Amino acid sequence: MDGSARQDAPSTAGLFLGFFQLGLTGFGGVLPLARRMLVERRGWLTAEQFTELLGLCQFLPGGNIINLSVAVGMKFRGVAGALAAILGLIAAPTAVVIGLGVIYDRTQDDPHIRHLFAGLSAAAAGLLVSLAVKLARPLRRSAAGLAIAALGVVAVAVLRLPLLPTMLVLAPLSIALHARRAA
Amino acid sequence: MTGDLAALALIFTQLSLLAFGGGNTVLPEMQRQVVEVHHWITASQFSAMFALAQAAPGPNMMIVPLIGWHVAGFPGVLVSSLAKFGPSSLLTALALHVWNRFQDRPWRNAVRAGLAPVTAGLVAASAVVITGASAPSWSLALIVAGVAAAATLTRLHPLILLAAGGCLGLYGIGQP
């Protein structure tokens, strides 16, 4: 089933609807759902094509799934397809999050809501801590990698330096270290 | 208002192009700009918005339209979303054609391997900054630690962990 894409190229409307559904159903991590939709359910991409496109999307700045929607839309229907896919993906979540935001704005002085959000914020921070741990684990055996990551934490979280100069120093430094080791 | 929209456009365009490794790497810079530079919201409001965005469906950068909405209503949503998602999307569309040609070039792997520790460091920085703003008391810090442990060691769904944190907060645990 994974050998070749099963279906004809999706239409612009099909792209919009496919990613619209993905945006509405993807809670706490859309990536596994995206693979299921693109490869298994709709057959727009083969498993290899999915991995290759995802590699590109992870390499570029921006969210993986957002970039993936643009890449898939572009691949099948050019600029119109890319627009349809990304708009489909973010339309519903944007409406939902603003609806929640309006409710929060109206009720944030209620002590119950304040308590609820204190707990919710702490839990969201915990999820972020867990993500950081998972990303740091593969660096265990790389002294250079750990040093770069530690520098990033100190610069951004402790010294609160702006991101642009931090990236302009850290990214080339890290890439140069890895290129030398690979050579 | 126009000044706010221009500031939103500038901030999120920059974040769009710097978000190597995804949106979670630019949270500290977003917080710095929105809270410390422009004073649109407080640090704890930022944390609450981040939590709201995590609880909503879809991609994990839904805090962006939320900030736009808070600062400038619907025009703010449009400007912040376009600025955050436009430039990176444009890059993706342009890169699609050249990417495969460079498949076997060694620099491609060096860049990928080199960016991984930067991403890990920036996400860790995000965790530090968001935790600092979200856990003003030891009991809230316990919720952070508990959720972090559960999310790392078990396969519990993130929504269940968010709901658990919300309930613990609602029942007064973690209140000073």
Does B163 map to a domain?
A: no
* Cβ-nearest to B123 among A27, A105, A135: A135
- What domain range is B12 assigned to? 2-106
Mean pLDDT of chain B: 90
Please state, in angstroms and rounded to a whole number, the distance separating the CA atoms of residues A66 and A74: 12
Q: Which residues of B touch A121 (CB under 8 A)?
A: 44, 47-48, 50-51, 133-134, 165
User: How many Cβ contacts (< 8 angstroms) between chains A and B?
Assistant: 367
Q: Residue B26: its pLDDT value, please?
A: 93
Decide if A90 and B100 are in contact by the 8 Å CB cutoff: no
Does B62 map to a domain?
A: yes
* Cβ-nearest to A123 among B113, B125, B166: B166
Q: Which residues of A touch B146 (CB under 8 A)?
A: 126
Q: What is the pLDDT of residues B138-156, one digit of tens each?
A: 889 999 999 999 999 998 8
> In terms of pLDDT, which residue wins out, A2 or A45?
A45
Does B114 map to a domain?
A: no
* Cβ-nearest to B65 among A98, A150, A171: A98
Counted domains in chain B: 1
Question: Could you tell me the pLDDT band of residue B28, with boundaries at 50, 70 and 90?
Answer: very high
Q: What is the pLDDT of residues B48-102, one digit of tens each?
A: 999 999 888 888 889 999 999 999 999 999 999 999 999 999 999 998 878 767 7
Q: Which residues of B touch A151 (CB under 8 A)?
A: 121
Decide if A100 and B52 are in contact by the 8 Å CB cutoff: yes
Q: Which residues of A touch B108 (CB under 8 A)?
A: 59
Q: Are A85 and A70 in contact (CB under 8 A)?
A: yes
Please state, in angstroms and rounded to a whole number, the distance separating the CA atoms of residues B60 and A4: 30
The ipTM is 0.87
Residues 6+ apart with CB under 8 A from A71: A53, A56, A57, A82, B92, B93, B96
Q: Which residues of B touch A160 (CB under 8 A)?
A: 28, 32, 36
For residue A66, give both structure tokens.
């957002």
Decide if B92 and A98 are in contact by the 8 Å CB cutoff: no
* Integer CA distances (angstroms), A97 to A81, A106, A115, A174, B66, in order: 25, 14, 20, 36, 7
Does B174 map to a domain?
A: no
> Domain limits of chain A?
1-107, 108-140, 141-183
Decide if A121 and B51 are in contact by the 8 Å CB cutoff: yes
Does B88 map to a domain?
A: yes
Please state, in angstroms and rounded to a whole number, the distance separating the CA atoms of residues B170 and A144: 44
Q: What is the pLDDT of residues A79-135, one digit of tens each?
A: 999 999 999 999 999 999 999 999 988 988 888 888 998 999 999 999 999 989 988
pTM of the model: 0.86
Count of other CB atoms within 10 angstroms of residue B82:
17
Q: Residue A2: its pLDDT value, please?
A: 41
* DSSP type of residue B35: I
Q: What is the pLDDT of residues B29-47, one digit of tens each?
A: 999 999 999 999 999 899 9
Question: Could you tell me the pLDDT band of residue B175, with boundaries at 50, 70 and 90?
Answer: low
* DSSP type of residue B100: G
